Structure 1
Amino acid sequence: MDILKLLSRSSKKPHKSSSAKDEVITKLPSAGSSTNPQLFHDTIPVARGKKRKRAAESLDDRIKEKDEEIDFFAPKSANHKSKNDSTVDIEESKRSASSFDAAKLLDYDDCRQILRSHRLKVTLLPASNVQRKAKKSKKSKADKGAEKKKGTEVYPQPLEAFGDLRTTYGISRRLGENLFQQGYKVPTEVQMGSLPLLLRPKIALGSSMTELDDFNTDNGVNLLAVAPTGSGKTLAFLIPVVDSIVQRRRANDDKRHSLEAVVVAPTKELASQIVNEAKKFCVGTGIKVVGMRKGMSIVPESNSGTTQDSSSEEEESELDDATPKLKSLLPLVRTDILVTTPGLLQSALSSTMPEHPASLPSVRTLILDEADVLLDPLFRDQSLGIWNSCTNTELCVTLWSATMGSNIEELASSTIQSRATRIGLQLSPRIIRLIVGLKDSAIPNITHKLIYAATEPGKLLALRQLLHPTARSTDGTQPLRPPFLVFTQTIPRAIALHSELLYDIPASAGGSSRIAVLHSDLSDPVRNQVMTRFRNGEVWVLITTDILSRGVDFRGINGVVNYDVPNSGAAYIHRVGRTGRAGRDGGMAITFYTKDDIPYIKNVANIITASEKASGMPESEASLQKWLLDALPTPSKKEKKMLKMHGVESRRAGLGKGKDGKVSKGKKSGMQISTKSGYERRLENNRKGAIMGSKRRMQNEMSIEVDRADDDSEWGGIDD
């Protein structure tokens, strides 16, 4: 070997392009899981007069220490006890009360510092006075503003690691093992603040309970949580529900399935996802989770008292011989947790008597996922009908979403207050509000791009550039890589865009099978098939409407493309939240806008600016400069309302082919999804019309000649 080559080997610099390329690839959301799913990591200041023991320790060291302290994760061979699991669980439940008292809890100052470092704000909202609306009293604006700001800020115990769920809050041993097997170690911000309150509110609030004389936590708490998309809200409300059912069945020694919790979601895709996640945590616990389907019926608990886990052969034969009318009156299913959409459950409750819907007296927990949509005018009547059907006096309601308006908070408070008055509770229940980060803002770990495309053909050309494998961004950043989602305003536009891009991917890369479309007009089996193919990586580009904008978890999505500007700021937050899930960096959100979108684009621009500011990006590197924000027009309240209800008016016209197959004529032909200009389409239509006219003339001429031939060959009879 040449000695000069050997000595000079260390002086060679690595190739910059390859290292940069590898660095970009590792930052993609689809590259792998994030070690720390938390979004905010502000430094904790050292308290005055004393030093924090763990101020210099890293998060990984604390997690390792927690893992070493946990013994219930060890295999059964390591334990010297030879008792059954049920006996061990009963003994552990008896020791739970004493272990809670001996658990090491943080003091008031430490709780306050940790919650503020993770940007968590917990507030006990005041009780809503329903009768206040009837009295018209003149109040100044200052009094009204002070009245809205009323509320007691509390600092509950934060959850530093999932190991504390067992040692401090005494969750079921089997549930703790399921969490460990799923790889959950570090809680996100919403899990850090909500799980202690929902599991053991007295332990979580601690010394704050003495200041809250009018707040009762014997039957649990009502929680309203506002947290960014992809922050683990599903896990936050499933763990307390599963644990409460396990503890209650263990205390009563009753293994029968009775409906104790109802989870309501706005879409079927989100409901199916919640069912799959819940089944992972219920392994070995004996708890049954069912997703509601069409045809299931619900009757009052009093009429279904004979429901048991095991039935005799005579009972089964009677059920088989029952008439269809009697079968429709049978109980829904033997389940503990029911996951449903509001329309399915409300129709099942009112199937027997529409004027007097059936009640659900056994339900102790009602969960509204994406509560701002469920309490919006679109689903409000159905959601409130389900809420009123839960007549149990110990009912606890939790509301979860990434965006929550003040009107939703007031509606939830007034509903709880009116229900307590109707039932006759002595102490009116109150709501604890948990806010993570900045309220109604996008997640700070994704890159936002706002691209002006001028016209509809410009948007289509820009999207085709993203599909090209050699595409490069003009600003020098890494381009968007599949898989990604494409959102449109309406179903016909999604179908038209899918037809336009169907053959843009070469056959060597999979061709048209790599592009799919999903909307509410498709049947349930087709929608499930498309979702499965997209999750398995068989589909690279999924074109859809706002049906997939909420709650659905795609951990491998590299980006989101808003082909049409969303109808509101909340819709933008939920759309772009499909990427960058669980703290993953590298997600990209691209929004195309045209001249027709300029009056409505400022809401999106403000959200992008707030997200970049929350991520710590300097103003010089911001994607939107201040002069552009000032130049954009501010939409009025009427324009915002019309945009939220109907979208951009120009895109509602000229939607393309309708259900009858005919092309609808809109006010603006430029709104059609096509790269051809109006002049080219007119020439093409004239050419097609001329060809069709010539075919018709040829057919008419041939039919005339046939008629003449028939006349000449016809026999006229014998002349006299």
Structure 2
Amino acid sequence: MDIFKLLARSTNLKTTASSSPQSTLPSSGARQNPQLFGNDDENLCRSRQKGKKRKRGRSTADDSGAIPEELDFFGNKSARIDRLEGTLSGPQDRPSNITLEREERERDSTIALGTEILDEEECRRILKSHKLKITLLSSPEKQKKGRKVDTTNTSTSNGKAHPQLFPQPLTSFDQLLSRYKIAGRLAQNIVNQGYNLPTEVQLGSLPLLLESNEAELVGFQDPLKRKDDIKRRGEKMQAGTDLLAVAPTGSGKTLSYLIPVLDGLLRERRIPDGSDHDMERDVKAIVIAPTKELAKQILNEARKLVVGTGIKVAGMRKGMVVSKGTEVDGNGNHDYGYDHDGEGDTGGETISPDDDELEDDGVRLRKKHPGQLVRAHVLISTPLTLLHAITNGVSGSTSPLPIVRYLVLDEADVLLDPLFRSQTLGIWGACNNPHLRVSLWSATMGSSVETLAQSTISTRRKSLGLLSARFIRLVVGLKDSAIPNISHRLTYAATEQGKLLAFRQLLHPTASSTDSAPPLRPPFLVFTQTIPRAIALHSELLYDIPAEAGGSSRIAVLHSDLSELQRDRIMTRFRKGEVWVLITTDLLARGIDFRGINGVVNYDVPNSGAAYIHRVGRTGRAGRDGGVAVTLYTKEDIPYIKNVANIIAASEKLSGKSKDAQGGLQRWLLDMLPTPTKNDKKRLKLHGVEERRASMAGRDSKSARKMRISTKSGFDRRMEHNRSGTVHRRRQVVRSRDDAVHGVNDEDYLSEGAGSEWSGFDD
């Protein structure tokens, strides 16, 4: 017996292993259950369900202590058969008992295969426990009179109600093969990647999209068999589905749209129309992402899923064209990354149209035009690169893409924002396939973006003379809210110097700190408003990490002014754990999956509430607990900080935290903060805090000195500047005196050094 446990039984002393903060950090390992909601409710309902479905004539003791037949090595099989045949209960109960056991066995085998059909009430309960809300925004069929429709919280601005849907939820990835008949190789690749339990967005979106793929091929593959199979599952034949999904960051949206796209392409290859689909490598699916980093991440995930399927996936590069009639002009050699600073990505692509490295990524190219022709089934690109690829350099017209059947907009709220709207709509308009299926995905989706997407889909189909498809909206949790499994902190620092001191305190926490909030441990991200501020903060903190811990190699800065090769190297070092603190702009705020990030620091207040949601979403990925989000703000940020405070309050309410929880948002702070006007929000979103931008424009102004990132006061900095200016002037005086003594003027001095090189010291 452990004497320490015996003595500590009546005390509150805990062992070191249980109280270690390492066990609750996102970097400590993968979480077994990646779901954010419904775990406790699901277990409770399952226990109740078992109690309700206990059969009459079977005792409670038998249910609690029953041993499976294959494990009951010492049991008497003949006695068990006699009991089933009615030796104990009489001959009248023989058929019913045997039938009950047979039905129970069949039901257990059906559940194991994942083909159990749930009724509407059970679907409603599961979707509600996981905080899933599926709304039908538009349908090709008119609503029948007298049909009961759930219109809870689905009313629109014009008073009309949208019906709420309750499809069969995907409770296990095994159901992809047993229920939806996806390709066996694709199902095996999903298992090989370690996906076992679907997240909320996968639980709700995959059934909708996979049913749409199956319904669209009814006219090509044995229609009677398909209809009978769907009727057997208790489902209805549905038309094509366009989906708008709003789900928290890190909830598995990439897998949610890649699986239906790949499944649809594999189903088309099985159509017996006489064509050799294995030899065709035309682009049939396009995925658009706002940044190069996010596009590369999606490309890597797609490559893992297409192993052995024959589907080719490629990333769009400069000098590549999609359609055969497109030529590349001078404008096609420019590309811009995404950055909230409003700065273009000056780090251009290093691959030319004639580069041999275009054979990478499994892409076959053909030199028939000035640009290289893409030979792949799935193409992943940023909007401007793809728009240049389908634009004719001579006429400036956009070439149509008639065979593209799937268009995916990842981070759709940014792609339909004014920054990318014209580019995205240009690509959308070029996809004139009548069977085009569009899906939009993001963690934040404004009502204006939703209205624009719905109107674009409706206008496009009317112009092509097509019937309108179903347009469905899927919302996980609260719309436009941060993930509930991380801790938020608002820290007032008063000035820029105080903000730098507060950040250094996060880097070097004191042992005597009484704050009960979870600590911030590396690795973590630091977000700034502009690129110059990111560079300045990196220079200020370059030597804050001791040399014994790695020194300056543990801190790095990443922004769009760096070349693509430099950005890739920094990202690789950060993913490997060689870099602990990565300072960046909003370039990495969206979509990038860092599963081991322990925290996020908003050194500068984000430009909008959506930017805050995406920034803090870099931690707590896939349901991991222990992430910390710290936001530092000064008195210049007070007019804009309430947006962030409201999001924090909603996140804490969703997670079920008490109002008096330490480290969270205090109620009095939320009441005292001023509410920003609509013009203030618009100005902040477009330009950020004006004082910080002015500090980079006017370097000698008082506001510039005030907002500079440095621990030195304005007086000390001014004295240092005067001192350096005095030394410089004295050196000029000494040099002019020496030149006067030797008879050398300024023109001779300049002409002498203009075309000469230093040859070293003379002997």
Band the TM-score falls in, shorter-chain normalisation: 0.7 to 0.9
| 1:107 paired residue among 90, 114, 119 | 119
| 2:440 paired residue among 383, 388, 399 | 399
Aligned residue number for residue 350 of structure 1:
391
Aligned equivalents of 1:444, 1:103: Cα separation in 2:
32
- Pair 1:398–1:471, CA change in 2 (3 A): farther
How far 1:294 sits from its partner (Å)?
A: 1.4
Aligned residue number for residue 122 of structure 1:
134
Aligned residue number for residue 250 of structure 2:
230
Aligned residue number for residue 22 of structure 2:
25
Aligned residue number for residue 707 of structure 2:
671
Q: Which amino acid aligns with 2:271?
A: A
- Tell me whether 692-701 or 18-27 shows the greater mean CA deviation: 18-27
- Tell me whether 343-352 or 569-578 shows the greater mean CA deviation: 343-352
Aligned residue number for residue 76 of structure 1:
none
- Pair 1:9–1:216, CA change in 2 (3 A): closer
Aligned residue number for residue 41 of structure 2:
43
How far 1:408 sits from its partner (Å)?
A: 0.7
| 1:576 paired residue among 616, 633, 643 | 616
SS in 2 for 1:30: helix
Say whether residues 1:479 and 2:479 are aligned partners: no
Aligned equivalents of 1:202, 1:693: Cα separation in 2:
77
Say whether residues 1:290 and 2:310 are aligned partners: no
How far 1:184 sits from its partner (Å)?
A: 0.6
SS in 2 for 1:452: strand
Does the Cα contact within 8 Å between 2:201 and 2:256 map onto a contact in 1?
yes
SS in 1 for 2:670: helix
- Tell me whether 552-561 or 238-247 shows the greater mean CA deviation: 238-247
- Pair 1:677–1:21, CA change in 2 (3 A): farther
Does the Cα contact within 8 Å between 1:293 and 1:344 map onto a contact in 2?
yes
Aligned residue number for residue 520 of structure 1:
560
Aligned residue number for residue 335 of structure 1:
376
Aligned equivalents of 2:601, 2:498: Cα separation in 1:
14
| 2:593 paired residue among 522, 535, 553 | 553
Aligned residue number for residue 536 of structure 2:
496
Aligned residue number for residue 639 of structure 2:
599
Does the Cα contact within 8 Å between 1:444 and 1:612 map onto a contact in 2?
yes
How far 1:23 sits from its partner (Å)?
A: 3.6
Does the Cα contact within 8 Å between 1:297 and 1:331 map onto a contact in 2?
yes
SS in 2 for 1:345: helix
Does the Cα contact within 8 Å between 1:655 and 1:664 map onto a contact in 2?
no
Q: Which amino acid aligns with 1:217?
A: Q
Aligned residue number for residue 162 of structure 2:
151
- Pair 1:512–1:330, CA change in 2 (3 A): closer
Aligned equivalents of 1:665, 1:332: Cα separation in 2:
53
Aligned equivalents of 1:472, 1:656: Cα separation in 2:
42
Aligned equivalents of 1:162, 1:568: Cα separation in 2:
36
Aligned equivalents of 2:555, 2:737: Cα separation in 1:
46
Aligned residue number for residue 278 of structure 2:
255
C-alpha RMSD of matched pairs (Å): 3.2
Q: Which runs of 5+ in 1 are unaligned?
A: 1-5, 58-100, 129-142, 304-319, 658-662, 710-720
Aligned equivalents of 2:434, 2:397: Cα separation in 1:
20
1:250-303 per-residue CA deviation (whole Å, 9 max, x = no partner) reads 335520212110000000000000000000001111111111111112325899
Aligned residue number for residue 406 of structure 2:
365
Say whether residues 1:433 and 2:473 are aligned partners: yes
| 2:192 paired residue among 181, 192, 199 | 181
Aligned residue number for residue 164 of structure 1:
175
- Pair 1:343–1:20, CA change in 2 (3 A): same
- Pair 1:574–1:193, CA change in 2 (3 A): same
- Pair 1:144–1:255, CA change in 2 (3 A): closer
Aligned equivalents of 2:114, 2:719: Cα separation in 1:
84
Does the Cα contact within 8 Å between 1:45 and 1:113 map onto a contact in 2?
no
Say whether residues 1:413 and 2:425 are aligned partners: no
Aligned equivalents of 1:498, 1:708: Cα separation in 2:
44
1:613-692 equivalences under 5 Å are 613-621=653-661, 623-655=664-696, 663=699, 665=701, 667-692=703-728
Aligned equivalents of 2:366, 2:686: Cα separation in 1:
40
Q: Which amino acid aligns with 2:130?
A: H
| 2:293 paired residue among 250, 269, 281 | 269
Q: Which amino acid aligns with 2:277?
A: D
1:63-109 per-residue CA deviation (whole Å, 9 max, x = no partner) reads xxxxxxxxxxxxxxxxxxxxxxxxxxxxxxxxxxxxxx994321111
SS in 2 for 1:619: coil
How far 1:656 sits from its partner (Å)?
A: 7.7
Aligned equivalents of 1:453, 1:198: Cα separation in 2:
48
Aligned residue number for residue 241 of structure 2:
221
| 1:386 paired residue among 400, 405, 427 | 427
Aligned equivalents of 2:650, 2:215: Cα separation in 1:
32
- Pair 1:331–1:19, CA change in 2 (3 A): same
How far 1:347 sits from its partner (Å)?
A: 1.2
Aligned residue number for residue 570 of structure 2:
530
Aligned equivalents of 1:562, 1:102: Cα separation in 2:
44
Q: Which runs of 5+ in 2 are unaligned?
A: 55-112, 141-153, 217-226, 328-358, 360-364, 746-763
- TM-score, normalised to structure 1's length? 0.80
Q: Which amino acid aligns with 2:452?
A: L
How far 1:508 sits from its partner (Å)?
A: 1.0
- Pair 1:671–1:156, CA change in 2 (3 A): same
SS in 2 for 1:593: strand
How far 1:150 sits from its partner (Å)?
A: 2.9
Q: How many residue pairs align between the two structures?
A: 616
Aligned equivalents of 2:197, 2:53: Cα separation in 1:
18
1:132-177 per-residue CA deviation (whole Å, 9 max, x = no partner) reads xxxxxxxxxxx99552653111101100010111100111100111
Does the Cα contact within 8 Å between 1:227 and 1:436 map onto a contact in 2?
yes
How far 1:355 sits from its partner (Å)?
A: 3.6
Q: Which amino acid aligns with 1:545?
A: T
Aligned equivalents of 1:369, 1:424: Cα separation in 2:
28
State, as a whole percentage, how many aligned pairs show the same letter. Answer: 57
Aligned equivalents of 2:703, 2:444: Cα separation in 1:
34
Aligned residue number for residue 59 of structure 2:
none
- Pair 1:204–1:633, CA change in 2 (3 A): farther
Say whether residues 1:191 and 2:194 are aligned partners: no
- Pair 1:627–1:107, CA change in 2 (3 A): same
Say whether residues 1:610 and 2:650 are aligned partners: yes
1:384-417 per-residue CA deviation (whole Å, 9 max, x = no partner) reads 0000010111000000000001111110110011
Q: Which amino acid aligns with 1:449?
A: R
Does the Cα contact within 8 Å between 1:299 and 1:349 map onto a contact in 2?
yes
Aligned residue number for residue 138 of structure 1:
none
How far 1:653 sits from its partner (Å)?
A: 1.1
- Pair 1:33–1:472, CA change in 2 (3 A): farther
SS in 2 for 1:435: strand
Aligned equivalents of 1:596, 1:268: Cα separation in 2:
33
Aligned equivalents of 2:485, 2:571: Cα separation in 1:
25
Q: Which amino acid aligns with 2:22?
A: I
1:84-99 equivalences under 5 Å are none
Does the Cα contact within 8 Å between 1:555 and 1:581 map onto a contact in 2?
yes
Q: Which amino acid aligns with 1:254?
A: H
Aligned equivalents of 1:476, 1:325: Cα separation in 2:
62
Aligned equivalents of 2:696, 2:251: Cα separation in 1:
36
- Pair 1:423–1:479, CA change in 2 (3 A): same
Does the Cα contact within 8 Å between 1:444 and 1:614 map onto a contact in 2?
yes
Aligned residue number for residue 11 of structure 1:
6
